[in-house]
Chain A
Amino acid sequence: MVNSHTLSKYTLLRGQEEKSVIQSFTASVDRKFISVMSLSSDGCVYETLIPVYPTDPEENQRVVSSLLLRAVVSGSAPSGVALTVLDRDHVAVLGSPLSASKECLSVWNIKFQTLQTSKELPQGTSGQLWYYGENLLMLHGQSLTVIPYKCEVSSLAGALGKLKHSHDPGIQVMPPFVNWEASQGDGLGSQHAEQPRRILRRRKIEVSSQPAVPPSKQLLTTIMKDSEKHIEMELRKFLAVKTPDFHAIVGDLVTGLLGRCQVEPSFCPRNCLVQLIQTHVLSYSLCPGLMEMAVKKTDVQLLQLCLQRFPDIPESVTCACLKIFLSIGDDSLHQAEIDMESVFDYGDSVQGDNVAAPVDVLQNGFSPEGDTCLSCCQEVPAKPQDAAAATPTCPVTPQRAALLNAILHSGYSEAFLLPHLKDIPAQHITLFLKYLYFLYLKCSENATMTLPGIHPPTLNQILDWICLLLDANFTVVVMIPEAKRLLISLYKFVKSQISVYSELNKIEVSFRELQKLNQEKNNRGLYSIEVLELF
């Protein structure tokens, strides 16, 4: 882009910060400008924009620097400071912050002027910092430290700390929605460019060096005609290079694939679809037909993938997925390649939906057998069979559990989901309830009330689903003899929960009384003579 044979000299004009010295700088190239960011000894980050195509290369030109971030590090760091650009909105700064003496790596969001994250480096650094392939590299003490860091798309919610972390930090999050501004921004920007003539010239050069048809168009025609194998290869090639309007093209590709599926029933580009879904840029609204097809074909793997990746699945589709997950045979589940990440090792989980021998597990907070204070316990004597029903043995296979967990993780609106839940057959509802109850019991085994595993369902998700299922199907479930035991345990669970809360309320009142007593003690009495000096 930059003409490598010309030397352009620039003088940096500096305003009030004249006395400070630039301690570290870094540059990045945009389409129109080279952005030079510098870290001054006054601790502030300044940005200087230099046009890529200088108006007059021979002359010494003046450029102005503008303040980007105020006082991020103290200027008087002993071993120097370093600065590197991570992406359009983020910079990483190495140095000691004003408040602390220890050196520290901090990532700042320039757009919202917020500190994204920081890490203390107690052994000191050398003032060198690189960013390469989503890894931050720096010298820390005697060793080279590599910190993987991937910038999230800068949003106000993220800057304010309100962005929900729907995925584990290990999974890299791409924006789930099509970012129209991002995909169009560059094109628009060039239209408003200050030097349209030069840009036009450059465009001509670009166009002449490239084939007449853009790769996406080519790919689309491939999709319409060629074999699955070929499409897969082409797709892989295409995905390796990310184009600016990537979102839209991926949507087009899926629509194209689905269109061909409808025309040719034998055509099943499953791998291609999986690949496309895994780009993280798809959403339900971008390819509404995809899930419908998967439901039709009972492709549980694809459905699980969609549930995990799409943020905007309608409740009716979620419910259709749930129906399939509950009704599909174990044999077909074994064949499917299901992502088992969310399922922890149940250990004694059963093969098939049979109940295995009881295993006594000590439960934290809730133990239906031992709870003698509840009147309902006396009605149902704690026979071994009862205990068997209540002990945590997973009522479903791990594969099915993984699928159900995907349902638990998906978002929904209660009012829209409830009517669909009513369509699920009663025995499936019972099975799901059993599974949810099992998860709850697992949850209550530890003090933090969480499940083991990488990405397990949360306690709230479990309880919300129990309530939802009961709300929708109580009249049906209550008639089923198999569900009776389950309902009794749920009833006992709710009752114990209520008693816990009432105890908590009692404790709160006692604490308040204690507080009152304490206040009285601290009260300085009704009368005193004090000395006051007015200044």
Chain B
Amino acid sequence: MRARAHVGPGRREARAWSGERGAAGMGEFKVHRVRFFNYVPSGIRCVAYNNQSNRLAVSRTDGTVEIYNLSANYFQEKFFPGHESRATEALCWTEGQRLFSAGLNGEIVEYDLQALNVKYAMDAFGGPIWSMTASPSGSQLLVGCEDGSVKLFQITPDKIQFERNFDRQKSRILSLSWHPSGTHIAAGSIDYISVFDVKSGSAIHKMIVDRQYMGVSKRKCIVWGVAFLSDGTVISVDSAGKVQFWDSATGTLVKSHPIANADVLSIAVADQEDSFVVGTAEGTVFHFQLVSVTSNSSEKQWVRTKPFQHHTHDVRTVAHSPTALISGGTDTHLVIRPLMEKVEVKNYDAALRKITFPHRCLISCSKKRQLLLFQFAHHLELWRLGSTVATGKNGDILPLSKNADHLLHLKTKGPENIICSCISSCGSWIAYSTASRFFLYRLNYEHDNISLKRVSKMPAFLRSALQILFSEDSKKLFVASNQGSLHVIQLLEGSFKHLHAFQPQSGTVEAMCLLAVSPDGNWLAASGTSAGVHVYNVKQLKLHCTVPAYNFPVTALAIAPNTNNLVIAHSDQQVFEYSIPDKQYTEWSRAVQKQGFHHLWLQRDTPITHIGFHSKRPMHILLHDAYMFCIIDKSLPLPNDKTLLYNPLPPTSESDVVRRRTAHAFKISKIYKPLLFMELLDEGTLVAVERPLDDIIAQLPPPIKKKKFGT
């Protein structure tokens, strides 16, 4: 009955829409609104800030390490997939912008930031590693182990080398900090802090931390973090909720700040040593500053200045960049809080950033079969979208004639996380890759049954892929390997044939992270993190051209049908259109650059992660970030800063003429958020995959309860 009731007005609506199609309407879509992508980001374990490159390394509890470029609009430009046994407990940058991590498997790992893989892993032979720090010069590494040993490693150009042990302590070393001069270190353990002389390797002081907190004696007091200042002060944070200042020369407690009823888990000091930040298990981040006791006096003292409550759960780690406080924890958000007094220009960069979702696409779709492939850390899920016969007007929820089906749950073998995955447009091929293995599956659909067959004997060079893409006709597979090469593979029924490998240009080993293929299958575009976009001719199997490099990394790529225009989105929110046949930017792109984007468009704080096209409307480009999707109609005038960029209200009262006059190229909708994926399935059908934050929070462990009354 309900379905029928919708038919009448729906038809009218459809007619009206087709009538004014050319005039003003961007069109009416049926949107498959998907909220069953059960993705939960892993909690953040460590952050490490590199001042020279202004990059931030973030490690998560599943072992994933992500690199954010703070200069490029906080874009997550690189990531290293996680590993079940490689739970990172510490992360640090050393000289020459090398990145190391250490974890509970007892290994120290160095990452290759060019090829995007693990360079090597080395056992420290001290049991699980709880802490690691680089020397002030960046040439030595110090790790604190479960067995109470502190081990010093020398960093050589291509590896690290064990040098010696410091005096062994009774219990595990949970935190380490190097004196800026490099002569002493402080090590936080259970119930005490040791100060070591680096030269002799012996402990010169042992500072016992009070277990009591507000009259309640805890069983143990764990020193979660220490920081050694150049004046000899050691700052410690512990599980009793205290921030304490110690004099390392005499080994005495100078000052104690009880700040939380729960553990204080992390500490980070600014390079100038005039401010530091601590994070607590209650989700609060406190800022401490060194301020003059009275105005005009040279005597200074540490004062707790600002509390921030941007987290709901444990703040496991904090970092202090020159202009911002950075924190992350169990609630999976990476929070970057600019310090207003340090920000010179009060522009949009001074706003708080909260990064929750990865800046890459975890979802691919088969347009022909209306399938969605979801990528999780250790499995893939294949879903078939439902259908409806009803129609309706804007905002209606249509009755489903068929619900969405969960077709397949594909679990990976081994401890490694999935790096990337893809489903072909016809739905009969699925490919995914981990750090060491590449998998290709052939799917057969017989009525409601699906059979899955793995294509065996993948060639040795297809060990690991950073990005996988099928051609539109599902006859070719493109694989970006982490050695910088691009493989073209021809797919046959149940087998494959390696056609060609585009080798990286001599001298570069930069891995390609993004791929796009033209719908006619002739062109392949590939982009790394810094160099320009390379366009290859697939028929002739040679490099066609390289789009000039731009200052900001590419966040999404796509090639338009028919025109073969390459649309490139960058992390500074610029969008370029480059004609592949003409080897130059298109007229429209030049016009956009000349006029500039609307200031609100440039102020969005999540990158565009996907670009799509409308097969019947060549003038339209669909793109989306986490909080909006936009259809750019190239035939309409561009908005200038005076026009309203985003108008959520339908023009009900206005006449068509007014509407046409105020219409501009950017049609934005913010209905679906957080939006992880959006694609045009056919002319009038969209699929939008949302992941509401509440659903993620519901799957996190409960936070520490705080009393509201009687405090």
Q: Is A194 an interface residue (CB 8 A)?
A: no
Contact present for A529 and B31 (CB under 8 Å): yes
Q: Give the residue name and chain of the B residue nearest to A499 (CB).
A: B710
Q: Give the shortest distance, in Å, between A139 (CB) and chain B (any CB).
A: 43
Contacts of A498 in B (CB 8 A): 710
Contacts of A508 in B (CB 8 A): 708-709
A243 CA to B25 CA, complexed, in Å? 74
Q: Is A211 an interface residue (CB 8 A)?
A: no
A497 CA to B710 CA, complexed, in Å? 8
Contact present for A534 and B35 (CB under 8 Å): no
Secondary structure type dominating chain B contacts = loop
Q: Give the shortest distance, in Å, between B519 (CB) and chain A (any CB).
A: 23
Q: Is A505 an interface residue (CB 8 A)?
A: yes
Contact present for A531 and B29 (CB under 8 Å): yes
A461 CA to B278 CA, complexed, in Å? 36
A529 CA to B6 CA, complexed, in Å? 14
**Known A-B contacts A498-B710, A505-B710; A535 and B28 likewise in contact (beta carbons under 8 Å):** no
Q: Give the shortest distance, in Å, between A502 (CB) and chain B (any CB).
A: 7
**Known A-B contacts A502-B710, A504-B709, A526-B36; A531 and B398 likewise in contact (beta carbons under 8 Å):** yes
Contact present for A531 and B708 (CB under 8 Å): no
Contact present for B36 and A527 (CB under 8 Å): yes
Q: Give the shortest distance, in Å, between A51 (CB) and chain B (any CB).
A: 43
Q: Give the residue name and chain of the B residue nearest to A533 (CB).
A: B394
Number of contact residues on B: which range applies? Answer: 35 or more
Q: Give the shortest distance, in Å, between B628 (CB) and chain A (any CB).
A: 12
Contact present for A525 and B31 (CB under 8 Å): no
Contacts of A266 in B (CB 8 A): none
Interface string of A494-512 (1 = CB under 8 A from B): 0001101110110011000
Interface string of B357-398 (1 = CB under 8 A from A): 000000000000000000000000000001110011111111
Q: Give the shortest distance, in Å, between A416 (CB) and chain B (any CB).
A: 18
**Known A-B contacts A529-B386, A529-B388; A534 and B659 likewise in contact (beta carbons under 8 Å):** no
Contacts of B665 in A (CB 8 A): none
**Known A-B contacts A527-B404, A528-B33; A534 and B669 likewise in contact (beta carbons under 8 Å):** yes
Contact present for B395 and A531 (CB under 8 Å): yes
Contacts of A530 in B (CB 8 A): 30-31, 33, 395-398
**Known A-B contacts A505-B709, A527-B35; A534 and B396 likewise in contact (beta carbons under 8 Å):** no
Q: Is B707 an interface residue (CB 8 A)?
A: yes
A508 CA to B404 CA, complexed, in Å? 38
**Known A-B contacts A526-B36, A529-B31; A534 and B710 likewise in contact (beta carbons under 8 Å):** no
Counting residue pairs across A and B whose Cβ atoms lie within 8 Å, the total is: 100
Contact of B26 among A502, A504, A535 (CB under 8 A): A535
**Known A-B contacts A501-B710, A505-B708, A535-B647; A529 and B631 likewise in contact (beta carbons under 8 Å):** no
Q: Is A208 an interface residue (CB 8 A)?
A: no
Contacts of A500 in B (CB 8 A): 710
Contact present for B392 and A531 (CB under 8 Å): yes
Contact present for B403 and A527 (CB under 8 Å): yes
Q: Give the residue name and chain of the A residue nearest to B663 (CB).
A: A535
Q: Is A142 an interface residue (CB 8 A)?
A: no
A535 CA to B403 CA, complexed, in Å? 29
Contact of A532 among B24, B31, B400, B659 (CB under 8 A): B31
Contact present for A519 and B659 (CB under 8 Å): no
Contacts of A529 in B (CB 8 A): 30-33, 386-388, 397-398, 400
Contact present for B710 and A533 (CB under 8 Å): no
Q: Give the shortest distance, in Å, between A460 (CB) and chain B (any CB).
A: 15
A519 CA to B697 CA, complexed, in Å? 13
Q: Give the shortest distance, in Å, between A469 (CB) and chain B (any CB).
A: 21
Interface string of A25-60 (1 = CB under 8 A from B): 000000000000000000000000000000000000
Contacts of B415 in A (CB 8 A): none
Q: Give the residue name and chain of the B residue nearest to A525 (CB).
A: B35
A502 CA to B36 CA, complexed, in Å? 39
In chain B, residues 681-711, which have Cβ atoms closer than 8 Å to a Cβ of chain A?
Answer: 686, 694, 705, 707-710
Contact present for A535 and B708 (CB under 8 Å): no
Interface string of A460-501 (1 = CB under 8 A from B): 000000000000000000000000000000000000011011
Contacts of B17 in A (CB 8 A): 533
**Known A-B contacts A532-B394, A534-B26; A527 and B33 likewise in contact (beta carbons under 8 Å):** yes
In chain B, residues 24-50, which have Cβ atoms closer than 8 Å to a Cβ of chain A?
Answer: 24-36
Q: Is B651 an interface residue (CB 8 A)?
A: yes
Contact present for B667 and A534 (CB under 8 Å): yes
Contacts of B394 in A (CB 8 A): 531-533
Contacts of B96 in A (CB 8 A): none
Contact present for A505 and B33 (CB under 8 Å): no
A248 CA to B33 CA, complexed, in Å? 75
- The CB with the most chain B CB atoms within 10 A, among A501, A505, A535, is that of A535
Q: Give the shortest distance, in Å, between B371 (CB) and chain A (any CB).
A: 14
Interface string of B278-314 (1 = CB under 8 A from A): 0000000000000000000000000000000000000
Contacts of B548 in A (CB 8 A): none
Q: Give the residue name and chain of the A residue nearest to B32 (CB).
A: A529
Contacts of B26 in A (CB 8 A): 533-535
Q: Is B507 an interface residue (CB 8 A)?
A: no
Q: Is B216 an interface residue (CB 8 A)?
A: no
**Known A-B contacts A501-B709, A501-B710, A505-B707; A531 and B31 likewise in contact (beta carbons under 8 Å):** yes
A502 CA to B28 CA, complexed, in Å? 55
Q: Is B650 an interface residue (CB 8 A)?
A: yes
A529 CA to B25 CA, complexed, in Å? 20
Contact present for A532 and B709 (CB under 8 Å): no
Contacts of B709 in A (CB 8 A): 501, 504-505, 508
A526 CA to B39 CA, complexed, in Å? 13
Q: Is B492 an interface residue (CB 8 A)?
A: no
Q: Give the shortest distance, in Å, between B608 (CB) and chain A (any CB).
A: 17
Contact present for A519 and B694 (CB under 8 Å): yes
A530 CA to B631 CA, complexed, in Å? 18
Contacts of A528 in B (CB 8 A): 33, 397-398, 400
Contacts of B28 in A (CB 8 A): 531-534
Interface string of A296-327 (1 = CB under 8 A from B): 00000000000000000000000000000000
A324 CA to B302 CA, complexed, in Å? 42
Q: Give the residue name and chain of the B residue nearest to A503 (CB).
A: B709
Contacts of B34 in A (CB 8 A): 526-527
Q: Is B214 an interface residue (CB 8 A)?
A: no
Contacts of A505 in B (CB 8 A): 707-710
Q: Give the residue name and chain of the B residue nearest to A497 (CB).
A: B710
Q: Is B671 an interface residue (CB 8 A)?
A: yes
Q: Give the shortest distance, in Å, between A118 (CB) and chain B (any CB).
A: 33
Q: Give the residue name and chain of the A residue nearest to B391 (CB).
A: A531
Query: Lowest 10 CB-CB distances: which A-B pairs, in order?
Result: A501-B710, A534-B26, A533-B394, A526-B36, A504-B709, A533-B28, A501-B709, A534-B667, A531-B392, A531-B396
B residues lining the A interface (CB < 8 Å): 17, 24-36, 386-388, 391-398, 400, 403-404, 631, 647, 650-651, 659, 667, 669, 671, 686, 694, 705, 707-710
- 12 A-B residue contacts at CB 8 Å? A526-B34, A526-B35, A528-B400, A529-B398, A531-B31, A531-B392, A531-B393, A531-B396, A533-B27, A534-B26, A535-B24, A535-B667
A505-B710, A534-B25, A535-B659 known, 12 other contacts, Cβ within 8 Å: A500-B710, A501-B709, A526-B404, A527-B34, A527-B386, A528-B398, A529-B32, A529-B386, A529-B387, A531-B395, A534-B26, A535-B650
